[in-house]
Structure 1
């Protein structure tokens, strides 16, 4: 019996795979639990169309991420002003929240959760990575400077 899987089934296949199973397994377990449907000609056509539509959506999302990455790569380095002790150590640290705020001031609404930066505890030049898509990321340079007293 040929079936189209509607979800991942351990040991059998992944969602949207067309698999061949014994009749009893398909009829008594996979179909009643909603894990699969019979792979008729029309069901196969619907699956192919759905995969094609999903590919277009994923391609559009990736292209949007690439366009945003080009804009982010063209910005001037960010300057973050913070309080510094007499020895030159930063009180606290500079993290992804500070980077997101500075990008917001420049017109880029970037979620802080997609910005990867190690907590910076010293003044100087540093890099932050913005992961816009699983295949698209961009490096953002930033400078940490001491606040004038």
Structure 2
């Protein structure tokens, strides 16, 4: 499946089992979609995707400050001719946020990641995190997780 197809399939998880048609046009009418499985199953999959993006999962670097996320990472050898390259990869991460009432679905693919980091959870998940955080802020979506304030103190030498 292409990254676009993966992101499209996630609409069924985000919309309680209804696969939503894709469009680039904004409509005042809510998208209806086609039912493909139960809302209960969609919610269960969202919880599984949230666990995959949590510490102990394959994509904890997908987490964002203030927003719950869920998604799945992937890593694949690149096709070369009729076979696959042993040292060339594609890393991806596809997910959604906020996880209980998703507003966005984001898919990230890194073609031939460098620096020896080629797993989707290491190469693509951090990009997903940044895109999600900035997009939800731009959309004025209120955080659904508590944000712990970070207080940085610095001592300054004063001279009189």
TM tier, shorter chain? under 0.3
Which protein shows a greater Rg?
A: 1
TM-score normalised by L of structure 2:
0.21
Between structures 1 and 2, the one with greater helix share: 1
Between structures 1 and 2, the one with greater strand share: 1
